[in-house]
Amino acid sequence: MGPALARWSHVAHAETQEVVKIRVEVTDGGFRPPTIEVEEGSMVELTFVWAHQAFLLDEHVIVLEGYKLESDKINSDHREATIRFVADKPGTFAFKCDLQCETHDLLLNASLKVKRGSGSAGGSASFTSTDLNISASATATSGEVVTLTVVLKDVTGVAVPKAEVRFYLDAEFVGTRGQMEIGKARTDANGVAVWAYQPTLDVPQYNITARFEGMGVYGESQEAIAIQELVAPPSAYTVAPAGLEGAPKFPTSVGLGDTAESAVSWSVSHWGPLLLTLMVVGAWVTFIYVLYNVYSAIKAQS
C-alpha cells in the first residue's frame, strides 16, 4: 500500500518476444517434472497436462505462488490448461493443486525457480497492457450501498479473467492523507468484477480508485471515480451498553446521562442497588416510626 501509482501499463513492444514454453504433466505420482527453471524477465507459457492412468476422476486447479496465478481446471475431459506470465520476480515459487484431489499429497513438492537474470541481456519480456474501466451504480448516495463494477480488458479488447482488483479511497484522517484500501474483488471470465461498497466516511465526495496490479503477462492499470455524498452515512459501528437490549447506539456506561433510557429499563438493570435502597429507606422509615411510637408511649399519661 502506498501512494497511488501514476504510471499506466507498459506499452507492448512491437517485436515478437521469445516465449519459454514448458509442459508439466500431472501424473498418478505427482508433477512431472517437479521442478522447472526459467530466466528472470522471460515470457513463460506453462502448460499443465492431465495425465492420470489411475485416479481418472481426479480434477486439478494449479496455482503458482508468488505470481498468484491460477490455471483453469484440468480433468479427463479438459486435459490442458496454460498460464502465461512474465517471470519478473526472482526466487523459488511453489506450484500445487488447489483442489482437494485424490493425489493432493503427491502434488505438494513442485517448484518453479526463476533465476536472477543478468539484466543487460536482451529478451526482457514486456507486459501486455490492460485497460480498466470502473462504474458505479449511483454517482450520489445518502450513505446506502453503492455497487462498483470494474471491466478489465487487455489492449486488444480481450477480457482478463481471474484478476484481483483492489479498491482504494482517498481519505484523510487526523491530518494524514492517503489511499485507504476499502476492498477487493476478482474478475470473472468476462473480465468483470463487481463489488458492493458501504460508505462509512463523512466526506462530501468519495474518490474511489480501482487498481489492477498486474498478473501473469498483464501489466497494471487503474481508474478512479467520484461519488457524491449527500448525507452522512450511518455509523459503521453500533455498540450496545452492557446488559441492555435495544439500547442506544453509542457506547454508554452507567452514569452517562442523556441516553434514551427509560426509568423502567434503568430500574430493571439496577434491580440490585434498588433493592438495597428500598431496604435502607424502609429501615429509616421504621426508625422514625419506632422512635415516635416509643416516645409517645412513654409520654402517654395513662
Where does this chain bind other proteins (CB under 8 A)?
Answer: 1-2, 169, 171-183, 200-202, 232, 234-237, 239, 241-242, 249-258, 263, 266-267, 270, 273-274, 276-300, 302
Residues paired with residue 225 on neighbouring β-strands, in sequence order? 208
**Taking a C-beta distance cutoff of 8 angstroms, is the pair 214, 129 a contact?**
no
Residues paired with residue 128 on neighbouring β-strands, in sequence order? 218
Q: Given the complex with other proteins, which of 2 and 119 has the nearer CB atom?
A: 2
> Smallest distance, Å, CB 202 to other proteins?
6
Q: Given the complex with other proteins, which of 21 and 292 has the nearer CB atom?
A: 292
> Smallest distance, Å, CB 289 to other proteins?
6
Q: Given the complex with other proteins, which of 54 and 268 has the nearer CB atom?
A: 268
Q: Given the complex with other proteins, which of 74 and 227 has the nearer CB atom?
A: 227
Q: Given the complex with other proteins, which of 30 and 234 has the nearer CB atom?
A: 234
Q: How far apart are CA 92 and CA 19, in angstroms?
A: 20
> Smallest distance, Å, CB 224 to other proteins?
16
**Taking a C-beta distance cutoff of 8 angstroms, is the pair 157, 182 a contact?**
no
> Smallest distance, Å, CB 256 to other proteins?
5
> Smallest distance, Å, CB 278 to other proteins?
7
> Torsion angle, CA of 203/208/213/215, rounded to 10 degrees?
140
- Parallel, antiparallel, or unpaired: how do β-strands 130-136 and 140-141 relate? unpaired
Strand order in the sheet with 69-74: 35-39, 110-115, 91-97, 60-64, 69-74
Q: Given the complex with other proteins, which of 11 and 239 has the nearer CB atom?
A: 239
- Say which residue the cell 526472482 belongs to: 90
> Torsion angle, CA of 237/242/247/249, rounded to 10 degrees?
-20
> Smallest distance, Å, CB 270 to other proteins?
6
